[in-house]
Structures are given as C-alpha cells and as structure tokens.
Structure 1
Amino acid sequence: MGEMKYRSGYKYQLAFDFLLQTRLRPTEIIYTEFITLYMDGKMVIRRAYSWDGASGPTWDTANTMVPALYHDAAAQLLRQGLLPPEAIDYANAEFDDMLKARGMWWPRRRIWQIGLWLTGGSFADPENQKEVHEVD
C-alpha cells in the first residue's frame, strides 16, 4: 500500500465543465489537467476542478462564485508559470469587471480591490503552490 497524498484548502468542486470568455490572450494554447486557455481568451475549466471561493475575510455569494472561479484558475496558471507575470493585472481587472457585471455593490468590490492590492499578487506567485500532505 502507498501513501495517500492530497491538498487541502478547497471549498468547491465543479460538477460540469465551465466555459467563459476572458481578456487573457496567451501566445499559444495553454492546456493543463483542469484548465484550457485558448489564444482568443476562451477558458475551459473542467469538471472536478476545485477552488476555494473568494479569499479573505468575506463570504461567498451567488455573484462571487464565477468571478472567484475565474480568478483562482488564472492565478493557478500564473503560479505554474504558464502566463506571464503581467497577466495578473488583466486577471485582477477582469475579476472586478465580473463582480460588477454580476451586481456586486461597489463598496464591497472596492474592499476586494484593496485586498488584491495588499496581497501584491502573492496568490499568483509560483512559490505559493498548495502544500501536498501525505498520510500512510
């Protein structure tokens, strides 16, 4: 028998593939186990992708679920070095636009913008991969 290995810190898991159009424009198609990002900005996030919802001292609401999913997927591509570091600015701006389009009250959006600014993009830093835990 081998060791079980897992990552913690996720709250949600996609039940079906999810497609969205983004402003991210890679120079070639990015394909990972759970995320595909096409050169035209189309992003496919596959069934069973796990994410933690919105980070920080906040609560998840219907108008935050898709933006948080998108932002977590974009941050994962950044952490893996598959998007250039400057893509973080596009991802953060698009995240805010998605929240606005879904009717999030502007003071709450502003607090989230400040939170992103305060983290300095650490959530997208390759050094911040989720830790793998082992159990015998």
Structure 2
Amino acid sequence: MDRICYRKLRRYKYQAMEEYRVQIDIQPEKDLTFKYMSLSKEGLLTVREGYAWDGPSGPTIDTPNFMRGSLIHDVLYQMMRLSALDHKKYRKRADEILREMCIEDGMSAFRAWYVYQAVRIFGERAAAPRPEPEIKKIIAP
C-alpha cells in the first residue's frame, strides 16, 4: 500500500514531509509545474515536501484511510482553481480518484460512496477557477 508522510499545521491541517508521486489517468496537454506540485503530460502527479493541505473537508473524521485521497484531491482541485486544469473536464475524475484511493487505503465502500457524493454535491465552488489570495508579508522593525 502506498503511504504519505505529513504533519499537522495551524493554518492548514497538514504538510507533506516527503515527496509523494502517483500515476493517475488525468493527462494534461502540457506538463504543469508549481513550487509544491506538478502533473506531467503522462499523468505522473508529484506532491513535493512542504505542500500544505486541509485534509478531508466537511463533517468527517480525518482517518488514515482518508489522508492520501484527500491530498491528491486537494492538489487536483488547486490546479483547477489555478486554471491549470479545466475543472469542467477533470473535476468528476478527480472526485472518482478520491473515492478509489480511499477504498484502496481501507475505507469502507459505503463511506467512500458518501465522501464521493459530498464532493460531487458541494465541491464545484472549491474547484472553480479563482485567483489565489495574496499573501501579506509583515515586516517587523
């Protein structure tokens, strides 16, 4: 079974402590490369050490069998928000990958179905393109 290494944070819940790579069947027209994540034309998704994410969303418990799926799902949704991936074309597949990974990692099929239904119903806004919030840099004396 694949594994990820992460730690809890304050602003985000978790941060990847090691690079993680997984082959997926989302294959963009060109390589997508960002500081903490990349997706090749061949579908190799790389999450670099230091990537932060909020883990599973909604009324749920952050169980180990949910973490890898939530990481990959958050990365894909972030690429959609950045307009690197077309959310209308890839959102459903990203949601299916979440469900599949959760089942692979030991989640019950019923809970994975529930998770999938939740992201299908409530996830549109989270995947829709929008500018990333500006980071305010604070300088002390």
Aligned to 1:5: none
Aligned to 1:89: 92
SS at match of 1:40: coil
Aligned residues: 129
SS at match of 1:66: helix
What one-letter code is carried by the residue in structure 2 that aligns with 1:83?
Answer: L
Aligned to 1:54: 56
Q: Normalising to structure 2: TM-score of the pair?
A: 0.83
Q: Does 1:101 align with 2:84?
A: no
1:16-73 deviations in whole A, cap 9, x for unaligned? 1111111110011000111110111111111110001100010111111110000000
The higher-RCO structure (CA 8 Å, 6+ apart) is 1
SS at match of 2:49: coil
Unpaired segments of 5 or more residues in structure 1?
1-7
The equivalent position to 2:43 in structure 1, one of 32, 41, 44, is 41
What one-letter code is carried by the residue in structure 1 that aligns with 2:36?
Answer: F
Aligned to 1:127: 130
Structure 1 residue 127: Cα displacement: 3.1
What one-letter code is carried by the residue in structure 2 that aligns with 1:69?
Answer: L
1:83-109 deviations in whole A, cap 9, x for unaligned? 112111111111111111112112211
Q: Percent identity?
A: 28
Partners of 2:117 and 2:134 lie apart in 1 by 26
Q: Does 1:26 align with 2:28?
A: yes
Contact map agreement 1:10 1:51 (CA 8 A) in 2: yes
Unpaired segments of 5 or more residues in structure 2?
1-9
